[in-house]
Structure 1
């Protein structure tokens, strides 16, 4: 290559130590020695993962001029080039086989034209031609949003109308409280939608002990888990260090966070079964229409609102080069597949084009709810056969994940997420992690636990309780520790290890959580019960469903405003997480007061009037109206 020869000629004319060392470095580079490539790379940082140049987004899009009576506006495009170092050392190939650079083009150019123009330009640069440097793909930022669509205007008007109505209801509430004798029945009904009334409702404690704390802590764990995935999607200056960090023990709190989802599944199954059998013991009849309708109406209004915002307002959030394409694809997915979410089938139907990708959990839980109602009816009518049926579901739900993994070659690892043209790509996520048949065990175990707590009273000795706590802690530590080895890319893919992990990890975690729920609700929790039952968790528990729905949108909002490279470390992840959590709580509080709580009031009015009020209804993991007795949890 000419550039190497020219450097050699330049240094050979000198007899200094520098000249000798430069020649030694060139020879080491030619032989592919890592230290030499690292030295050559230090100015760019390619080997460390600085493989993406975002350019200056604002400077490009502000271009607006004329030449020869032709109007020119700027559009920033990111061009993918075949890496020049991949043949020199495997270090760069562990990060990416390509490097990316941003170039400002006229807005009329499409991505194919950008790629062709770049290859034509590179062909005239001898040094780059010698290195085999060529453009392989282009991605352009979407154009600035102009004007309001009918859908956008309708969404804004709807939100404003809801706000005005709730303010009116709040005024009615204050008038009713100051002059209760003059309050009409209509004013009393309007008062139920009041901001003030629903804020007070957030601090009413009537749940089983510890449930609220477990729900809030699991929610926080899920949020930090999703935050870590965002750092896999955003451009970073040290991507290689990110990969190393994921292989270290310091990332363990991220790797094991998916177990929080299993905690939610177990809590949902437990609360539904417990309230069902408690109602049956009290003699209340079950209205099956209300049973299903209550569940659907409790979850759907808030979900529909967030989908509405994602469909028509998210595009105004930002137009960054990376996040803009991601948001554009998300908006398109919601326009096409909103109806799938309303049927709660999004983890099976058009799953790779899902509107609100994190809503897969709601679909899986709803499907398990439908199945579990059959089991609970059998447990009530024919307890002996119902337990056998539930046992079959538990065994099958343990066996399916390892069989699916072993036969299809999937992995339990989720850290291989990537975005291509704004689309999330991961077979493990869509085909193994999300399907309901792979997530059933914790939910069915929760149903069994709810049935047992509602129907069986037993006394445990302190020794038995202590042994159970030790077993639960060991199982949790085993699950968390084994997750590190599954996520460690340095170990490599091991089908036998992956299969054993799929067979044992979620069942072990679910059994441990089931004991914590049982111990805390039956008086064997000690200080754990005191901590998880803290009043601090009460209001956060009430808005946990709203937080779950909106937190990913807030994380994506940060992604859309990425115009420079980030440096990722534990501190930056925690900082981003805390910021996201505070914002999610604030926005979740708004969604709860404006949509979730009013929808619950409407649901109660509708079902009481149409289906009758003296009926037993189920509860669920996110339900704010879980009203069940604490008497079973008195200290023994």
Structure 2
């Protein structure tokens, strides 16, 4: 019996044979022949148990010769023993079932869980499985049916076969046997001297959109170069047993061919149906979320009907927070264009992250998909890092604008209050997400890749969550980071802690501070260029990007604040200039034109400059990568700073500034933090729950309306239950503190005045 991966080898070699001959193939009359004869003896030698020259076979004879050595394994009742079958119809139709089973399993052979040196428990259950399968017992047929088979469309990239997840887990047989779903990783290598095999290998792996090894981490970036193949095995077989049996069968069937398989079966990728109760921590966290939701609803009802409650409880009022979320009222110090800039980049970032998430899923036309995305315009989804830079720039701009305003009013900066205010805004929302993704999300769904993209993240968070709340998680590597997409929160918070020094430097000593900040920006730019060039990194995803290169780029550059300092400094300087710029002072028309020209050219260069890197025949160039990583953030952020400056100082009233200043973007600003946090959990939920390969239409998949709605809904819930209430608490306690300070000051003044009178 050739196993299903062994059949891949047969199919590949058969394709090669057809491709070599250039002759018509008559399957019905002569089998798989060319003029009735298969001339490629290597195919037959690899499949012939005697390893001798087999002569000329028809296709039927070829299949028969392969099936002979497995026939006894699945039909020899003296070997497997007699006994009652769990198929109640077997005694009535035993002869017909035996005949049909023999024919079926010769054509589509079952996977043998006991092949190779597996454990005794696995062998015992495998014996029962084989016996019952041969008698067409329903539970055994379900396990057989749930295991992946060789599909059509292999050369169109349809290599990832997820079988039937639910059918496998639902199989329950005799002697306590339960279906165990294992998603095995297969890495197919070919003889590099065989140009024919190399060409087929490229089609199977969809032009190597990503290059990966079987040992690469797969929970954050997809292992595009490995084949995911589902096996439904008896529950007594350990992941190692499944791996050993697969390796044994594959080695047997790829011997003396140009193919070589590497097999890996991770323990967390083997699943049985959950039967136990939910963990205590999951119940506690679930009750916590229910309690917060109940508090919001109850306080909202009290607020609506005028029932007196404390200010702390009123901060959670659902009514009040919904009205605050949808309010279109602007603050007096609001910088209108920033809301549109934030919304644009948030949308682009969602698309970029989505374009990465789709590579986790199997598709029947995956090769077509990768050929389609090898177009210059797909630069939109390849430069995810580009869309995070404006958020860092905006953070620096708003921080400096706020700090300088307070320095102008009071002459001092209460750094402690600023830090506490910052923590009030980001920690509760981040904490809620970590709690949900760690203790609740793993138990609200299931699927072939669920443990990879959901449970594995939860396991990491259970060990390293504390790093996120100290905002140091971005220093421990992308692979070991709890909720890797939150690295931006760590970077932004670390730069915020540095911001008082930067703002005070340019406020107190502008002649020294401004050159100092410029030096920091130049140093950060030079650092990005050097590290990218020296370590051969790349912030842009090109065809053939290796998973290792992506992780190295993240760990050595992308997630380090020293490498993101350039745009933050640009934002700080912009915020300072906006506060200091004289009102109604107009810029010379020539300067306006030069400024527009430079900013437009820089933004086009940053956005479209790396378009040729998206070509399938692009060859990595470290100079290209280093130049892009060093200067693209400046070019992309430059135009947003320019538009903001002109609009806020009254130097332009054009359509672009009006578009960015649309009041509706106030709502997206209030949701932006939650949208950033929730998008990957939504993406990974859908990846983990995917059961089968689909036909991908690139635009319909990228613009998945249901997915966008779920991201918005989860962001709204997170904002209403956590972000806005804790901002209300912050405002309440800060006002209370200021009132107490004011009262204390008044009392002291009156005391002093009273003493003077005495």
Q: State whether TM-score is above 0.5.
A: yes
Secondary structure of 1:282's aligned partner: helix
**Equivalent runs, 1:98-137 vs 2, <5 Å:** 99-122=227-250, 130=257, 132=259, 134=261, 136-137=263-264
Secondary structure of 1:512's aligned partner: helix
Q: Residue 522 of structure 1: CA displacement?
A: 2.0
Secondary structure of 1:44's aligned partner: coil
For residue 323 of structure 2, what is the aligned residue in structure 1? Answer: 200
For residue 64 of structure 1, what is the aligned residue in structure 2? Answer: 172
Aligned 8 A contact 2:184 2:243 in 1: no
The yes-or-no answer on 1:451 pairing with 2:557 is: no
Aligned 8 A contact 2:182 2:239 in 1: no
Aligned 8 A contact 2:376 2:612 in 1: no
For residue 603 of structure 1, what is the aligned residue in structure 2? Answer: 730
For residue 433 of structure 1, what is the aligned residue in structure 2? Answer: 558
CA RMSD of aligned residues (A): 3.6
The one of 277, 287, 291 equivalent to 2:418 is 291
Unaligned runs of 5+ in 2: 1-8, 45-149, 209-224, 743-758
Residues 425 and 563 (structure 1), Cα distance of their counterparts in 2 relative to 1, 3 Å cut: farther
Q: Residue 22 of structure 1: CA displacement?
A: 8.9
Residues 266 and 612 (structure 1), Cα distance of their counterparts in 2 relative to 1, 3 Å cut: farther
For residue 580 of structure 1, what is the aligned residue in structure 2? Answer: 707
Q: How far apart are the structure 2 equivalents of 1:241 and 1:267?
A: 39
Aligned 8 A contact 2:177 2:234 in 1: no
Q: Deviations over 1:404-460 (max 9, x none)?
A: 11221212224679999xx99732233332222221111110000000110122411
For residue 618 of structure 1, what is the aligned residue in structure 2? Answer: none
Secondary structure of 2:475's aligned partner: coil
The one of 322, 333, 337 equivalent to 2:460 is 333
Aligned 8 A contact 1:47 1:92 in 2: yes
The one of 162, 181, 201 equivalent to 1:75 is 181
Aligned 8 A contact 1:270 1:446 in 2: yes
Q: How far apart are the structure 2 equivalents of 1:155 and 1:84?
A: 50
Q: How far apart are the structure 1 equivalents of 2:509 and 2:726?
A: 36
For residue 156 of structure 2, what is the aligned residue in structure 1? Answer: 48
- Greater mean deviation of Cα atoms: 328-337 or 377-386: 377-386
The yes-or-no answer on 1:267 pairing with 2:267 is: no
Q: Residue 603 of structure 1: CA displacement?
A: 2.0
Q: How far apart are the structure 1 equivalents of 2:187 and 2:337?
A: 54
- Greater mean deviation of Cα atoms: 604-613 or 144-153: 604-613
The one of 519, 527, 532 equivalent to 1:405 is 532
Aligned 8 A contact 1:225 1:257 in 2: yes
Q: Deviations over 1:524-547 (max 9, x none)?
A: 141112211212222122111111
**Equivalent runs, 1:442-591 vs 2, <5 Å:** 442-457=567-582, 458-523=585-650, 524-576=652-704, 578-591=705-718
Q: Residue 25 of structure 1: CA displacement?
A: 10
The yes-or-no answer on 1:166 pairing with 2:289 is: no
Secondary structure of 1:104's aligned partner: strand
For residue 271 of structure 2, what is the aligned residue in structure 1? Answer: 142
Larger Rg: 2
Q: Residue 215 of structure 1: CA displacement?
A: 1.2
Secondary structure of 1:147's aligned partner: coil
For residue 119 of structure 2, what is the aligned residue in structure 1? Answer: none
Q: Residue 26 of structure 1: CA displacement?
A: 6.9
Residues 70 and 593 (structure 1), Cα distance of their counterparts in 2 relative to 1, 3 Å cut: closer
The number of residues matched between the two structures is 590
Q: How far apart are the structure 1 equivalents of 2:248 and 2:647?
A: 69
Residues 282 and 24 (structure 1), Cα distance of their counterparts in 2 relative to 1, 3 Å cut: farther
- Greater mean deviation of Cα atoms: 538-547 or 298-307: 538-547
Higher relative contact order (CA 8 A, sep 6+): 1
Q: Normalised by the size of structure 2, how large is the TM-score?
A: 0.71
Q: How far apart are the structure 1 equivalents of 2:27 and 2:393?
A: 75
The yes-or-no answer on 1:153 pairing with 2:261 is: no
Aligned 8 A contact 2:353 2:384 in 1: no
Aligned 8 A contact 2:425 2:726 in 1: yes
Aligned 8 A contact 1:61 1:76 in 2: no
Q: Deviations over 1:20-69 (max 9, x none)?
A: 68989979x99xxxxxxxxxxx9733333222111111111111111xx3
Residues 364 and 188 (structure 1), Cα distance of their counterparts in 2 relative to 1, 3 Å cut: closer
Residues 170 and 22 (structure 1), Cα distance of their counterparts in 2 relative to 1, 3 Å cut: farther
Q: Deviations over 1:574-593 (max 9, x none)?
A: 332x3322111111111111
For residue 33 of structure 1, what is the aligned residue in structure 2? Answer: none
Q: Normalised by the size of structure 1, how large is the TM-score?
A: 0.84
Q: Residue 344 of structure 1: CA displacement?
A: 0.9
Aligned 8 A contact 2:671 2:719 in 1: yes
**Equivalent runs, 1:206-221 vs 2, <5 Å:** 206=331, 207-221=334-348
Residues 243 and 6 (structure 1), Cα distance of their counterparts in 2 relative to 1, 3 Å cut: closer
- Greater mean deviation of Cα atoms: 362-371 or 236-245: 236-245
Q: How far apart are the structure 2 equivalents of 1:571 and 1:283?
A: 53
Secondary structure of 1:47's aligned partner: helix
- Greater mean deviation of Cα atoms: 266-275 or 108-117: 108-117
Residues 13 and 525 (structure 1), Cα distance of their counterparts in 2 relative to 1, 3 Å cut: closer
